[in-house]
């Protein structure tokens, strides 16, 4: 089992021009990761055509491909959407840099179950292209969907080229315990986002609480059990960490959607916010520049690097515990 890291783990450094894709690849290798998962979604504070990957040019993609080879890393791509244009763009980039798995998710502005039908058809339509490229698509449980809903789509596509992407924390946004989601998704999992979460009180958010990302080991997700399920029940040969810290997000659906009805226990235990609320509010973590001083922003970026290093050690310890490298 190899272990990798996704660019979002350093989202602040990307947003504020302290890191680019080549820097990220080097940093991942220095920490000890064996692979990189590169996010090509524009926006999120980054105006480059390929998001955190940068310019959509042959020269840039050649340089990224060569840097990945230089360090002997595996590569995966993160995108969103399932339209023909979305998928063909992601396949082109993945093929160029040598990635063999693409994570995608449904682009919800607000939850609409009618979008599942179009997603199913989109994925069926792209299977011939996946076969040509020999690249797999993994549909993520991305904050709006329960594990069963994602698996249902993949089962109906009925192709070895389309599986699921198990995010260790996203199920919480639909009131679903991560262990429960892991059991459902593991047999179909082609890639992952390994992370940790807590619940934080926020009176401005729906239901009065938010899901908050923290460095691995500082949260309440039963990562040991989730990791073990992935090892024993999935075909995965890699686990990728996406450390969503600092990051908070509201619940996306009603209590009980995924089986959990209230906060307070297990993964849904309520904790103190990672940062002083007088300095920055939880829902300001992702785009903090309007809320904090430059000095505090530097601290938050340093915290991301420290968190990624801590996450690597925790992920490696689980890998060493449950499987052969």
Identify the pLDDT of residue 311: 97
Mean pLDDT to the nearest integer, 124-153 = 98
Strand partners for 3: 239
Contact 185, 141 (CB under 8 A): yes
Identify the pLDDT of residue 92: 98
Identify the pLDDT of residue 86: 95
Rg, the chain, Cα only: 18
Strands (E) across the chain are located at 2-6, 35-39, 74-78, 101-104, 136-140, 162-167, 189-193, 196-201, 209-214, 238-241, 247-250, 270-271
Q: What share of the chain in percent tops pLDDT 90?
A: 95
pLDDT tens figures, 74-92: 999 999 999 999 999 999 9
CA angle in degrees (0–180, nearest 5) for 66-236-215: 75
CATH entry 3.20.20.70 includes domain 2-322: no
Q: What mean pLDDT value characterizes the chain?
A: 96
Contact 318, 2 (CB under 8 A): no
Round to whole Å and give the CA distance between 118 and 157: 12
Contact 139, 114 (CB under 8 A): no
CA angle in degrees (0–180, nearest 5) for 206-209-213: 120
pLDDT tens figures, 246-292: 999 999 999 999 999 999 999 999 999 999 999 999 999 999 887 89
Identify the pLDDT of residue 44: 73
Round to whole Å and give the CA distance between 166 and 239: 10
Residue 325 reports pLDDT greater than 80: no
- SS3 for 179-217 is HHHHHHHHHHEEEEEECEEEEEECCCCHHHEEEEEECCC
pLDDT tens figures, 59-68: 999 999 999 9
Coil/strand/helix, residue 120: helix
Non-local (6+) Cβ contacts of 130 within 8 A are: 91, 136, 137, 159, 161, 162
Neighbours of 208 (CB within 10 A): 12
**Domain residue ranges in the chain:** 2-322
pLDDT tens figures, 171-226: 999 999 999 999 999 999 999 999 999 999 999 999 999 999 999 999 999 999 99
Non-local (6+) Cβ contacts of 253 within 8 A are: 111, 144, 173, 174, 175
DSSP state of 48: S
Tokens of 242: 């996406």
Answer left, alpha or beta for residue 143, where phi above 0 means left and psi between -120 and 50 means alpha: left
Identify the pLDDT of residue 291: 85
Tokens of 199: 């619940």
pLDDT tens figures, 34-75: 999 999 999 877 889 999 999 999 999 999 999 999 999 999
Burial of 41 (0-12, 13-18, 19+ CB in 10 A): buried
């Amino acid at each position: 089992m190899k272990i990798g890291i996704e660019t979002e783990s350093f989202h602040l450094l990307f947003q504020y021009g302290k890191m680019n894709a080549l820097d990220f690849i080097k940093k991942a290798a220095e920490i000890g990761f064996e692979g990189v998962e590169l996010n090509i979604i524009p926006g999120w504070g980054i105006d480059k055509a390929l998001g955190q990957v940068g310019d959509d040019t042959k020269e840039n993609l050649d340089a990224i491909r060569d840097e990945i080879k230089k360090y002997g890393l595996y590569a995966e791509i993160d995108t969103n959407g399932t339209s023909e244009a979305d998928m063909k763009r992601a396949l082109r980039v993945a093929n160029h840099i040598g990635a063999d798995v693409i994570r995608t998710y449904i682009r919800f502005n607000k939850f609409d179950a009618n979008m599942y039908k179009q997603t199913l058809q989109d994925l069926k339509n792209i299977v011939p292209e996946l076969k040509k490229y020999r690249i797999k698509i993994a549909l993520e449980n991305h904050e709006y969907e329960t594990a069963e809903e994602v698996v249902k789509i993949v089962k109906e596509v009925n192709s070895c080229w389309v599986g699921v992407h198990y995010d260790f924390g996203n199920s919480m946004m639909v009131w679903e315990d991560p262990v429960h989601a892991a059991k459902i998704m593991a047999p179909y999992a082609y890639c992952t986002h390994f992370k940790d979460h807590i619940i934080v009180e926020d009176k401005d958010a729906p239901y009065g609480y938010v899901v908050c990302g923290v460095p691995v080991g500082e949260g309440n997700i039963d990562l040991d059990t989730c990791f073990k399920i992935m090892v024993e029940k999935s075909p995965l040969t890699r686990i990728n960490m996406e450390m969503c810290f600092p990051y908070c997000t509201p619940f996306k659906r009603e209590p009980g959607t995924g089986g959990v009805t209230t906060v307070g226990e297990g993964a849904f235990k309520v904790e103190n916010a990672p940062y002083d609320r007088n300095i920055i509010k939880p829902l300001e973590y992702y785009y903090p520049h309007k809320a904090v001083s430059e000095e505090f922003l530097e601290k938050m970026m340093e915290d991301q690097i420290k968190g990624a290093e801590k996450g690597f050690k925790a992920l490696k310890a689980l890998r060493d515990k449950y499987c052969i490298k």
